[in-house]
Amino acid sequence: MESGQLQRRLGLTSAVSITVGAVIGSGIFLKPLKVAQSLPSEEAIYLMWVGLGLVCLFGAFAYAELGAMFPQAGGQYAFLREGWGRFVSFLYGWTFFWVINAGTVAALALGFAENLLPVFGVEVATKTLPDGTEQEPLALLVVAVGMILLLALVNHFGVVLGALVQNVTTFAKVGALGLIVIGGFLAVGGDASPATAVVANGGEQPEWRMAGIVAAFMGIFWAYEGWYQMPFNAAELKRPERNLPIGLVGGMVILIVTYLFVNWTYMRVVPFEEMRAMGEDTANTYVATLAVARIFSPEIGGYLTLLMAISIFGAANPNMLSSPRAFYAMGQDGLAPQSLTRVSKRWGTPVVAIWVQAAVGIVLVVTLKRFHDVTGFVVFAAFLFYALTVAAVYRLRKSRPDAARPYRCTGYPFTPALFILVALGFFVAVLQVPT
């Protein structure tokens, strides 16, 4: 190994695939029930899923301008450094290292294990010991750790191999979601009206409440989490001034449309009233599982967890494919150990950064142990830095007005302003409202 330069080997297909694949993981399967139980109507559900998708798209507009300006390794880290200086980028880099990315890797690894093991009849429920302490199944931790090690190994052996895995898993899960939507449309005979049901414990119609909005926001944004990943690979993109904006913005449009249709399908076959009546002990996968069972068959519905495991694997891969490039950039800037800049002569990958990130993810898996222990604090920790990154567009427009901008933020100055307001508003709301 030697300290060296990353190589431009990724094309437009990989750019789109990284954006879409980094996002579609567990959220579209795990979070719809929580969202439905937090909001007052089906219309509110659509509003939140589409509205927050558009907010992420507005953020992507800003990231696309920054990525085209600075097509180098590090993504968000590099944008914060250029916009706000080394101190802010230092704070972000280490928060990203210990919390945001490592937490995401750990959460996805645990989600992967929780969904894969039941397919093989392995129990994943927590056991209470005679002394009252809770013990996680060893198999859960072993599979989660194994997934992280496998992803690190794949991405060790070249960015092309990592991108190939990403392309295959992305096409597979988008195709599977497409089949669910088509199956749902055929199952209801093209009827666009929502399914209805009479339930015994439906309760009163919920109202708009801040706690419900925050809970729905957390769930939906986790489902969109990862939209910012692809710019980390800017130094490995061919024609980054073109492929980065198209890959980022185009990927976000695909995601918004996909999520809208999947939620439409869920509510065609699982009535909103029925979702509201499901108890707290209901598995978060139940809405997706029940929908697939009703569209196709109970047997196929039962295997949805396998699809979820594959989907989660595909969402975790970009965290090893893309995120170590931030640590590589930190090492180059002298804000992290120089060893993180070591690039394999043979494979052209930042192998030390990859394996160090894998190690931190494994530590969080062993200490946190459950998927839902991680998702909330990852989303919360990320928001302030999202806002600062988007705000860098304004700062750089003033400080470097003559700099080359192959792509200029669509809707500037309004779209970045809206993103910042939503991000900061949510940040404040979480501090005030128990979730």
CATH for 355: 1.20.1740.10
Which stretches within 85-228 are classed as H helix?
86-95, 101-116, 138-156, 159-187, 210-224
Dihedrals phi, psi of 409, to nearest 5 degrees: -50, 120
Greatest C-alpha distance within the chain: 69
- Residues 6+ positions from 97 with CB-CB distance below 8 Å: 326, 327, 336, 357, 360
pLDDT on residue 9: 78
Q: Please tell me the distance from the alpha carbon of residue 258 to that of residue 238, in angstroms, as a whole number.
A: 27
Task: Quick: pLDDT tens for 330-367.
Answer: 888 888 888 888 888 887 888 888 898 899 889 888 87
Residue (of 182, 202, 163, 128) closest to 16 by Cα position = 163
Amino acid 199: pLDDT: 44
* CA distances in angstroms from 414 to 221, 247, 364, 417, listed in the order given: 21, 22, 38, 5
Whether 219 and 38 have beta carbons less than 8 Å apart is answered as yes
Q: How far apart are CA 150 and CA 156, in angstroms?
A: 10
What percent of the chain shows pLDDT beyond 70? 85
* Residue 255, amino acid: L
* pLDDT of amino acid 26: 75
What does the block give as tokens for 391? Answer: 């705000």
Neighbours of 180 (CB within 10 A): 23
Phi, psi of 10 (to 5 degrees): -100, 135
Three-class HEC string of 35-78 = HHHHCCCHHHHHHHHHHHHHHHHHHHHHHHHHHHHCCCCCCHHH
Model confidence pLDDT, tens digit, residues 132-181: 556 667 888 899 999 999 989 988 887 778 778 888 888 888 888 888 89
Report, in angstroms and rounded to the nearest whole number, the Rg of the chain calculated over CA atoms. 21
Q: How many domains does the chain have?
A: 1
- Give the span between the Cα atoms of 336 and 341, in whole angstroms: 9
| Strand 134-135 relative to strand 342-343, pairing | unpaired
Give the range of the structural domain holding residue 88, as residue numbers without chain letter.
2-432
CA distances from 116 to 104, 173, 312, 331 (A): 18, 15, 10, 36
What are residue 25's phi and psi, to 5 degrees? -145, -100
pLDDT attached to residue 260 = 94
Closest CA to 149 of 350, 357, 304: 357
Token pair 């039962």 is found at: 302
**DSSP string over 238-259:** SSHHHHHHHHHHHHHHHHHHHH
CB 318 within 8 A of CB 229: yes
| Element at 20 (helix H, strand E) | helix 12-23
Kindly give the parts of the chain with pLDDT less than 50: 1-3, 197-203, 281-283, 435
- Cβ atoms of 10 and 318 within 8 Å: the answer is no
